[in-house]
Structure 1
Amino acid sequence: MPIYSIQNTLTSNQFIQYNDTLVSAAGTFEAGFFNFGDPQRQYFGIWYKNISPRTIVWVANRNTPAQNSTAMMKLADQGSLVLLDGSKGIIWNSNSSRIGVKPVVQLLDSGNLVLKDANSAKNILWESFDYPDNTFLAGMQLKSNLVTGPYRYLTSWRSLEDPAPGEFSYKIDTHGYPQQVTSKGATILYRAGSWNGILFTGVSWLRKNRISNFSFVFTDKELSYQYESLNNSIITRLVLDPYGTSQRFIWSDRTQVWESISSRPEDQCDVYALCGINSNCNINAFPICECLEGFMPKFQTKWKSSNWSDGCVRKTHLNCLHGDGFLKYTNMKLPDTSSSWFDNSLSLEECKRTCLKNCSCTAYANLDVRDGGSGCLVWFDNIVDMRIHPDQGQDIYIRLAFSELGYIKTLFNKNEKGDGDLVTIFDFSAITTATNNFSNRNKLGEGGFGPVYKGIMVDGQEIAVKRLSKTSGQGIEEFKNEVKLMATLQHRNLAKLIDTKRSKLLDWTKRLEIIDGIARGLLYLHQDSRLRIVHRDVKTSNILLDIDMVPKISDFGLARLFMRDQAEANTNTVTGTHGYMPPEYAVHGSFSIKSDVFSFGVVVLEIISGWKNSRFCDPQHRLDLLGHAWRLWMEERPEELIADILCDEAICPEIIRFIHVGLLCVQQLPENRPNMSSVVLMLKGEKLLPEPSEPGFYTGRNNNSSEFSINEATISLLEAR
């Protein structure tokens, strides 16, 4: 039985022996001796009292286990907490002796073992939180005195049953602007990034249901990082395991287990400097490493073989005397700040001017993102360890020579075999000449990114040029995503070059051929290519026709790469176009190949009817195009959906079969929709057609408004509910 009161207090010359425990006031934690099955190796530690199996959060004698069960923890007269081994004497000491104090030890409900002077409750002589183990608890601080030291950080255990300090550390790196890193010795393995006023820029812990409040204090004398639980009933901890992974756990009363809610590194892009210098890592791209705009791989052959360690070099050297410019990147984990410079008082514009004055300055960003942004953070020489964080991240401005800011990249399918790596780079002046200075006469159309212009190169090659609008919701990342996919994918019904659209009346045979071509293009994306691609923005304006009226699926800016065994994915930011998005995506942010099937079905019904879904409204029944088609089908009058152009008796049954397939594709539930391989067979009449069920977003007789916007521009800021 313990020899001390339940009030968690140990006074001078009292001690804790084997099988004794010191319990915190509310019974959350207890401290005492434990072992990992070998009674000859005893440790003194702290653990959760009512959680099984025992979860250790701190160990005193990590390097020096007691050799037998005669060990005791004793509070000496002058305030030192000592661990005694019956055969060796003192094997651990808090080294906190003070003359003239009345020492007491308390185990707090935070898990902090505190030694203080009973004559002055605020006079803390020593506390376990100042000597972190492998566990980061609420209320604990990772702190450093920047003048005198010391430097507090987590260290991993050597193994799951050996608490001796292992190879890995979790700390705040104080070089340059402070940042959180996980290291193996002196080598950085993972970098959570620098603090931006809310969180570290490389961490995605900002969620709707937050459980903790994180804070970071940084002055010229000290820094500290800690978190507090927002709900005292929630038990959470961060652990650096023996393999260098930091995991945040939450205790589940329902399942009685620790549930991992985050783990770092989370994916391949979290590996420090994976892509080398002057590069960016995008886990949703293929390949995941890409040179920054204005840079190219240092060694092309190695880069193409996915050896990115040498990174990228500038295509055009900076010209400090005659001025340079900056290219803005959004939603980024800021690069390594160990060689950065910062100033809390400068505005972003002042930061830009400061960077331009220094020929070695290569990038700048706000120090703090709160309240519209403040402070200045600048980088010198090479950019290291930057990645995209689509759900959060930060803006950063990368310095480029002015000539590089005018480049536009355009793809060309140079041979029939189609080499996916063929990319030609054109100077901005060449594009300007080809498009007659972006004349309105050359304008082909406009999408969510901005206008598209027809151009003719000096060799007579016709091209189409996307020009990004300043007001566009899309940007560099969507454009680069499209470039990479189009450079990789090869199919006659996928656009390698944006082909000229021609306004021409199409007969029914040609219309049905176009529908069949679109279906085959989607089948290639979903099944037949070496990649599995979900387009996410299939619509009539993204179906381009070449001179022979062969359809080409274009605009891969929103496309996503799926693993072969991956069925679906989810996003908090819904991207696509009203009128073509299936209900599970628009409402819940869930998308799959069946999302493209739904959009394809809408396109089929639009081509057959001659109406756009987003612009059609049946005034009598208040139905959108899908609802109108469904009503006609149920009333056995599908031929009334056919556009008002002549079709002979031979072609009419085939058109009705296409309507049938279109309705199967737009069914409410994704599991009821056919896949594209079945669709291709259905269109050819080679597969029996089941009866369709009610379409998604079918608006009924009593609905006062359409579910869809009349604006066909691609949207990218709609939050899933």
Structure 2
Amino acid sequence: MEGFTLLLFGLAMLKTLAAATLRDTINTMQPVNDGQIIVSAGEVFALGFFSPSNSKSRYLGIWYYKIPIQTVVWIANRDNPLTDSSGVLKLNETGLLVLLNHNKSVIWSSSTTRSAHYPIGKLLDSGNFIVQDGNNNNDPKDFLWQRRNLITGLNRYLSSWNSSDDPSRGKYSHQIDTAGYPQFVMREGTVKRFRFGSWNGIQFSGAPQVKQNSIFRFNFVSNEEEIYVKYDLINKSVLHRLVLATDGFLTGISWSDEENVWREFAIVPVDDCDYYEKCGAHARCNINNFPPCNCLEGFVHSRQYTNGGCVRRTSLSCYGDGFLKFSGLKLPDTERSWFDRSISLEDCRILCMKNCSCTAYSTLDISKESTGCLVWFNDLIDIKEFTESDQDIYIRMAGTEVEAIQSMQSHKSNSRKQKTIIISCVLSIGILLLCLTFIIHRQWRTWQKGRKMKNDLEEDASVMNEQGNEDVELPMFDLSTIRSATKNFSLDNKLGEGGFGSVYKGILEDGREIAVKRDSKNSSQGLREFKNEVMHIAKLQHRNLVRLLGYCIQSGERLLVYEFMANKSLDSIIFDEKKSVLLDWPRRLHIVNGIARGLLYLHEDSRHRIVHRDLKAGNVFGYMPPEYIIDGAYSTKSDVFSFGVLILEIVSGKRNRGFGNQDNLLAHAWRLFTEGKSTEIVDATIRDSLNLSAAVRLIHVGLLCVQLCPDDRPSMSSVVLMLSSESTLPQPKLPGLFTTRNLVGDSSSSGSYKQYSNNNMTVSTMSAR
């Protein structure tokens, strides 16, 4: 029994839904009540009753069915709303659609010129609701939705709403003015506000921007029987509308499925020059000029026009007059014009010349080799200037005025030609001189390069023969071997570059992988300095330093050959979100200790004290300590500073430069340390393997290394001892920060810096991988 009850309930619901949504057609026996809708076959449009936002009045209308924002495109009773939900739409036996209220009184009805025997109403996917004879489906009787099809005597046009809540006819209308040659006009009440201009076979003369577009194509038809305009959508899958808004702007909008909103793609009026008669008679408006209004050639400003119009400079004499051609203009108002579609432009000129009242003429259709004739008999008003236009107008002027203007135009044209010739000659001579200068300079540089190469070869031979290779405990590679290994220093083999030059990967004939440091051609280092550097690096032997395999001094090239480090630089792993998990806490601590022992070897255990100067995770541009930035001073304590920055980067997994905080990494670590929150800087990927006390101690050591004053920083031997023991550490002072915004109060040191350099110290940059 319970299942039977549920079945009855389900059937009742289906019946209710079917009653609410009707098919796309109705007949004389099937009215549309308030609460029911008719949906077109493709579910594009729906017809039914609705209320605008914040309104209780009911209207019969058509709207887009699938758009979430109800968008009404047509209303039957816009000036006669229903006060309740008792409205009914019926189709009577003669084919008339009638809208009845609660008293069964007709408040709206359609119009038709003939009756139908078996009328059927149908809502199309185009938004049109048509009444057909049931015996002939191809014979529509009436159109309810505005199709922009204006048939003589019917006069359909666009009119704005009064407000967003009131769809009754507003004060703005947009329609075809059939007085004279037909043209589109927007009015506020009875006053003209904007003119699209007349149709010239391709476009409306006042809207050249719609000539070519990717959205729609205009089609204007004007003959003895009918006048109408329509536009065909290029992409019919996209919804487009032409809306006359309550503020008088005619707007083209399209629906965005991604954003669920209507997007504006065109609007008129575009600027102040579009407003009707902006500049008065015989004047043109160009919004890019100042002032925008200027008289046409042959006309001057006159006080007789309150809106700044112009009058003829020389009065007409009828038979002694001529015509001056104007291009790039919106044709004047055609309300009092005359036209003939059959005659040629020359015949049009003759007709205008014979009629002393004719003030201007133009071709009617520029799409058919300039056929048809359009003439004006009154003042020429509402003219706008465009950068380009396909239509010309010929304005009547006194013969003497035409001759004077043409002579002036010819003089200006000749003057422009002369200027063009002069400018072209000057530019040609200038280009020729530049080319000669370039060729001479290039030859001079080639000569200089050859001379330098010759001197370098002589210097190479001199230096190498001076002491032989007895002081260099490394093999000297042949340049051809290096070129072969690096594929002639191919870009594909390039590992990186810096101020010193570039580094390339290579493979020797025996299969060994090498990294070749190629000194820059612009390097200020001489051959003796380079050889001195090779001798010092060759004597360095430590497990934490990259081993130098050899060198090459040949044909101006200065090359150092290192063993290739397959794991790349530290920054490629530690700053990578995915790869950084490979370095847990024990591995990171091991890396820090290894770097510390390598620096200790350079500073104190090697034969010569060496300052690294390029210590960082990426090993491309070292961390500069404050004393180097301020005074240019560099010492072993500078390496200690760089080592401290490196410690903080290894612990945090963050770069010092580009650190995502209002402070840089040093300032951030310092603030957390002073607040007792040092562990907050630790990389989240190593927290599971973290030794808390060891991490806090390592951060402490890092802050000791980056103190502002070099004298306060520990030596590398002290650093190694701090890392390998649990002795009490001194409190760090304010670190050397890179930006003044991070300095804390008066804690910054104002002491001077010593010049840390002496004769038993070698400053070197070790940058190879």
TM-score, normalised with respect to structure 1 = 0.55
For residues 293 and 22 of structure 1, the distance between their equivalents in structure 2, rounded to whole angstroms, comes to 60
Could you tell me whether the CA contact under 8 Å between 2:64 and 2:70 is conserved in 1? yes
Match of 1:230 among 223, 231, 234: 234
For residues 96 and 541 of structure 1, the distance between their equivalents in structure 2, rounded to whole angstroms, comes to 73
Amino acid at match of 1:90: V
Match of 1:279 among 277, 283, 291: 283
Q: Match of 2:161? A: 157
Match of 1:309 among 307, 310, 315: 307
Could you tell me whether the CA contact under 8 Å between 1:297 and 1:313 is conserved in 2? yes
Match runs of 1:259-408 below 5 Å: 259-299=263-303, 309-321=307-319, 323-407=320-404
Could you tell me whether the CA contact under 8 Å between 1:72 and 1:85 is conserved in 2? yes
Shift of 1:57: 0.4
Could you tell me whether the CA contact under 8 Å between 1:331 and 1:393 is conserved in 2? yes
Shift of 1:628: 7.6
- In the alignment, does 2:67 pair up with 1:51? yes
Could you tell me whether the CA contact under 8 Å between 2:242 and 2:251 is conserved in 1? yes
For residues 348 and 196 of structure 1, the distance between their equivalents in structure 2, rounded to whole angstroms, comes to 13
Match of 2:430 among 598, 612, 616: 612
Percentage of identical aligned residues: 39
For residues 173 and 631 of structure 1, the distance between their equivalents in structure 2, rounded to whole angstroms, comes to 71
For the residue of structure 2 that corresponds to 1:450, the secondary structure is helix
Shift of 1:406: 3.6
Distance change >3 Å, CA 406–CA 14, structure 1 → 2? same
Distance change >3 Å, CA 265–CA 408, structure 1 → 2? same
For residues 630 and 312 of structure 1, the distance between their equivalents in structure 2, rounded to whole angstroms, comes to 62
Could you tell me whether the CA contact under 8 Å between 1:280 and 1:290 is conserved in 2? yes
Shift of 1:4: 8.2
For residues 172 and 142 of structure 1, the distance between their equivalents in structure 2, rounded to whole angstroms, comes to 10
For residues 23 and 362 of structure 1, the distance between their equivalents in structure 2, rounded to whole angstroms, comes to 55
Amino acid at match of 1:44: L
- In the alignment, does 2:23 pair up with 1:26? no
For the residue of structure 2 that corresponds to 1:290, the secondary structure is strand
Q: Once the two structures are superposed, what CA deviation does each residue of 1:501-553 show, in whole Å capped at 9, x if it has no partner?
A: xxxxxxxxxxxxxxxxxxxxxxxxxxxxxxxxxxxxxx9956xxxxxxxxxxx
Distance change >3 Å, CA 175–CA 632, structure 1 → 2? farther
Q: Once the two structures are superposed, what CA deviation does each residue of 1:7-54 show, in whole Å capped at 9, x if it has no partner?
A: 411111212223321111111111111112457311111111112311
Could you tell me whether the CA contact under 8 Å between 2:327 and 2:389 is conserved in 1? no
Q: Match of 1:450? A: 413
Could you tell me whether the CA contact under 8 Å between 1:367 and 1:373 is conserved in 2? yes
Q: Once the two structures are superposed, what CA deviation does each residue of 1:129-151 show, in whole Å capped at 9, x if it has no partner?
A: 3xx3xxxxxxx233132xxx122
For residues 258 and 445 of structure 2, the distance between their equivalents in structure 1, rounded to whole angstroms, comes to 48
Q: Match of 1:70? A: 86
Shift of 1:392: 2.9
Larger gyration radius, structure 1 or structure 2: 2
Q: Match of 2:259? A: 255
Could you tell me whether the CA contact under 8 Å between 1:2 and 1:21 is conserved in 2? no
Q: Match of 1:113? A: 129
Q: Once the two structures are superposed, what CA deviation does each residue of 1:540-590 show, in whole Å capped at 9, x if it has no partner?
A: 956xxxxxxxxxxxxxxxxxxxxxxxxxxxxxxxxxx9x9xxxxxxxxxxx
Shift of 1:100: 6.0
Shift of 1:92: 1.8
Amino acid at match of 1:142: N
Could you tell me whether the CA contact under 8 Å between 2:328 and 2:391 is conserved in 1? yes
For the residue of structure 2 that corresponds to 1:361, the secondary structure is coil
Could you tell me whether the CA contact under 8 Å between 1:2 and 1:16 is conserved in 2? no
Shift of 1:210: 2.6
Match of 1:143 among 127, 143, 150: 150
Could you tell me whether the CA contact under 8 Å between 1:8 and 1:23 is conserved in 2? yes
Q: Match of 1:241? A: 245
For the residue of structure 1 that corresponds to 2:352, the secondary structure is helix
Query: Counting strand residues as a fraction of each chain, which structure ranks higher?
Result: 1
Aligned residues: 432
Query: Counting helix residues as a fraction of each chain, which structure ranks higher?
Result: 2
For residues 96 and 256 of structure 1, the distance between their equivalents in structure 2, rounded to whole angstroms, comes to 38
Could you tell me whether the CA contact under 8 Å between 1:4 and 1:10 is conserved in 2? no
For residues 633 and 77 of structure 1, the distance between their equivalents in structure 2, rounded to whole angstroms, comes to 101
Q: Once the two structures are superposed, what CA deviation does each residue of 1:294-352 show, in whole Å capped at 9, x if it has no partner?
A: 1111129x9xxxxx61411111101113x211111112111111111111122111111
Q: Match of 1:187? A: 191
Shift of 1:80: 2.3
Could you tell me whether the CA contact under 8 Å between 2:95 and 2:116 is conserved in 1? no
Could you tell me whether the CA contact under 8 Å between 1:333 and 1:393 is conserved in 2? no
Q: Once the two structures are superposed, what CA deviation does each residue of 1:627-669 show, in whole Å capped at 9, x if it has no partner?
A: 88998999999xxxxxxxxxxxxxxxxxxxxxxxxxxxxxxxx
For residues 48 and 443 of structure 2, the distance between their equivalents in structure 1, rounded to whole angstroms, comes to 77
Could you tell me whether the CA contact under 8 Å between 2:282 and 2:299 is conserved in 1? yes
Could you tell me whether the CA contact under 8 Å between 2:21 and 2:36 is conserved in 1? no
Distance change >3 Å, CA 384–CA 37, structure 1 → 2? closer
For residues 633 and 141 of structure 1, the distance between their equivalents in structure 2, rounded to whole angstroms, comes to 75
Q: Match of 2:33? A: 17
Could you tell me whether the CA contact under 8 Å between 2:20 and 2:36 is conserved in 1? no
Could you tell me whether the CA contact under 8 Å between 2:116 and 2:132 is conserved in 1? no
Could you tell me whether the CA contact under 8 Å between 1:35 and 1:41 is conserved in 2? yes
For residues 55 and 283 of structure 2, the distance between their equivalents in structure 1, rounded to whole angstroms, comes to 53
Q: Match of 2:613? A: none
Could you tell me whether the CA contact under 8 Å between 1:156 and 1:168 is conserved in 2? yes
Distance change >3 Å, CA 89–CA 53, structure 1 → 2? same
For the residue of structure 2 that corresponds to 1:407, the secondary structure is helix
Could you tell me whether the CA contact under 8 Å between 1:2 and 1:22 is conserved in 2? no
Could you tell me whether the CA contact under 8 Å between 1:80 and 1:97 is conserved in 2? no
Match of 1:216 among 216, 220, 223: 220
Unpaired runs of 5+ residues, structure 2, are 1-16, 449-769
For residues 24 and 89 of structure 1, the distance between their equivalents in structure 2, rounded to whole angstroms, comes to 28
Q: Match of 2:171? A: 167
Could you tell me whether the CA contact under 8 Å between 1:10 and 1:105 is conserved in 2? yes
Could you tell me whether the CA contact under 8 Å between 2:150 and 2:229 is conserved in 1? yes
For residues 202 and 352 of structure 1, the distance between their equivalents in structure 2, rounded to whole angstroms, comes to 23
Could you tell me whether the CA contact under 8 Å between 2:202 and 2:211 is conserved in 1? no
Unpaired runs of 5+ residues, structure 1, are 133-139, 303-307, 410-427, 439-448, 453-465, 470-497, 499-538, 543-576, 580-602, 620-624, 638-721
Could you tell me whether the CA contact under 8 Å between 2:112 and 2:141 is conserved in 1? yes
Distance change >3 Å, CA 274–CA 635, structure 1 → 2? farther
For the residue of structure 2 that corresponds to 1:182, the secondary structure is strand
For residues 62 and 630 of structure 1, the distance between their equivalents in structure 2, rounded to whole angstroms, comes to 81
For the residue of structure 2 that corresponds to 1:190, the secondary structure is strand
What is the root-mean-square deviation in Å for CA atoms of aligned residues? Answer: 3.4
Could you tell me whether the CA contact under 8 Å between 1:116 and 1:123 is conserved in 2? yes
Q: Match of 1:89? A: 105
Amino acid at match of 1:312: C
Q: Once the two structures are superposed, what CA deviation does each residue of 1:424-469 show, in whole Å capped at 9, x if it has no partner?
A: xxxx6xx99xxxx98xxxxxxxxxx6323xxxxxxxxxxxxx6x89
For residues 384 and 183 of structure 1, the distance between their equivalents in structure 2, rounded to whole angstroms, comes to 16
Amino acid at match of 1:189: R
Distance change >3 Å, CA 408–CA 69, structure 1 → 2? closer
TM-score, normalised with respect to structure 2 = 0.52
